[in-house]
């Protein structure tokens, strides 16, 4: 682990200064360029400038991001000075939204350095159950030490969310392909392997170095001109009430081949969900799973399978048909985009369709990104 030097700190983090800070209001196009990088499958981070060009003329004040994920589109709405409500079905993404959409950072850099310096490797659920799965023995014990220390710390929800968010980013950066779908630690540790993907130096860098880098990328929001955001609890997207001026829907990608849909968001990110639920994780894990999966919430499953996806999607869109609906999709997904278009045209007074080619994460080939805008009757 990297050695760090920090200011003295007590059991609770030092109070933040309340002195007013003068901020320059950035144009949206400039603000987009400074938003945090992401390593999540399907993130719209690289498409934000294109999305903004298509929606900058829309009249709305409140926006709901229903499948929020990395919160990239929520951040776009925030830079547009809109009131944002963020939702995602995965609990760890509550920490993501609560951190990147915060009015100000809840943890100072010096307090972060102190916390990282005082982490002591310990034996816990990760070192006991994940040996040889995703990280080395020493890394597993460091992760346990971090999580146990964080759970015992007398910190606010915002502070714990920020520290977990940084840990999620570090865990992703140290993984081949940035996901947890396979027990493939050997791709990092086995010698003599010719690798055409990833970066061995990045994988071997310590967690705390990656966390510090992620901290430096956090947006420096200006509270005096940006509205506070609302972070909704993780649940089924169908349970989120309607009534927003604009609703952004970026549902899970469903392949035309059902066999490919088993490698869903839960399988890719279950390890991060476990970190978010560290206090109960050990009791949830299926020991027969070679990647130590645990059971997904029912709503994750129904939004990941062909037999249930279309009806759920159309019901959700209809629920919000009194709002402007901004809908992201990919060409050649299930159902066919012509079916999506026909349904939207039956529910909205007008529908515009915008397309562009885009390289998605984990894929070498380009796909055609679709953006539908439905205008309410």
pLDDT reported for residue 284 = 97
| Residue-wise pLDDT tens digits, 114-167 | 999 999 999 999 999 999 999 999 999 999 999 999 999 999 999 999 999 999
pLDDT of 7 reads 38
**Which residue numbers in the chain have pLDDT < 70?**
1-12, 14-25, 192-198, 221-225, 360-365
Q: What's the CA gap between 308 and 361, in Å, rounded? A: 25
What is the C-alpha separation between 125 and 128, in angstroms, rounded?
A: 5
Closest CA to 73 of 314, 247, 230, 313: 247
Whole-structure pTM value = 0.89
pLDDT score at 15: 52
For the chain, the structural domain boundaries read 28-190+197-375
Full 3-state SS string of the chain: CCCCCCCCCCCCCCCCCCCCCCCCCCCHHHHHHCCCCCCCCCCCHHHHHHHHHHHCCCCCCEEEECCCCCCHHHHHHHHCCCEEEECCCCCHHHHHHHHHCCCCCCCCHHHHHHHHHCCCCCCCHHHHHCCCCCCCHHHHHHHHHHHHHHHHCCCCHHHHHHHHHHHHHHHHHCCHHHCCCCCCCHHHHCCCCCCCCCCHHHHHCCHHHHHHHHHHCCCCCCCCCCCCCEECCCCCHHHCCCCCCEEEECCCCCCCCHHHHHCCHHHHHHHHHHHHCHHHHHHHECCCCCCCCECCCHHHHHCCCHHHHHHHHHHHHHHCCCCEEEEEEECCCCCCHHHHHHHHHHHCCEEEEEEEEEECCCCCCEEEEEEEEEECC
Q: What is the pLDDT of residue 235?
A: 94
Looking at residue 361, its pLDDT comes to 55
- What the block records as the tokens of 332 is 């050649």
């Amino acid at each position: 682990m990297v050695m760090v030097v920090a200011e003295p700190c007590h059991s609770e983090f030092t109070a933040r200064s309340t002195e007013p800070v003068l901020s320059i209001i950035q144009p949206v196009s400039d603000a987009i360029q400074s938003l945090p990088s992401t390593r999540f499958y399907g993130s719209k981070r690289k498409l934000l400038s294109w999305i903004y060009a298509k929606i900058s003329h829309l009249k709305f004040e409140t926006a709901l991001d229903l499948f929020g994920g990395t919160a990239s589109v929520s951040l776009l709405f925030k830079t547009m000075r809109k009131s944002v409500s963020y939702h995602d079905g995965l609990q760890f993404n509550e920490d993501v939204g609560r951190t990147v959409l915060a009015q100000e950072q809840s943890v100072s850099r010096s307090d972060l350095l102190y916390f990282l310096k005082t982490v002591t490797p310990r034996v816990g659920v990760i070192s006991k159950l994940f040996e040889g799965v995703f990280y080395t023995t020493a890394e597993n014990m460091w992760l346990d030490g971090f999580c146990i220390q964080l759970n015992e710390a007398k910190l606010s929800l915002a502070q714990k969310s920020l520290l977990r968010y940084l840990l999620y980013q570090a865990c992703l950066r140290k993984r081949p392909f940035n996901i947890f779908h396979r027990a493939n630690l050997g791709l990092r540790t086995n010698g003599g392997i010719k690798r055409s993907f990833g970066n061995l130096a990045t994988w071997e860098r310590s967690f705390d170095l990656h966390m510090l880098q992620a901290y430096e990328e956090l947006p420096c929001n200006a509270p005096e001109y940006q509205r506070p955001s609302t972070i909704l609890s993780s649940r089924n997207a169908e349970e989120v009430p309607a009534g927003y001026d604009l609703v952004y829907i970026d549902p899970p990608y469903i392949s035309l081949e059902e066999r490919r849909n088993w490698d869903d968001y839960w399988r890719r990110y279950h390890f991060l969900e476990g970190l978010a639920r560290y206090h109960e994780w050990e009791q949830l894990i299926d020991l027969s799973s070679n990647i130590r999966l645990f059971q997904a919430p029912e709503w994750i499953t129904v939004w990941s399978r062909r037999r249930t996806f279309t009806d759920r999607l159309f019901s959700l869109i209809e629920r919000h048909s009194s709002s402007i609906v901004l809908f992201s999709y990919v060409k050649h997904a299930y159902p066919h985009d012509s079916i999506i278009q026909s349904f939207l045209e039956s529910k909205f007074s007008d529908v515009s369709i915008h397309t562009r080619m885009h390289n998605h994460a984990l894929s070498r080939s380009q796909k055609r990104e679709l953006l539908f805008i439905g205008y309410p009757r």
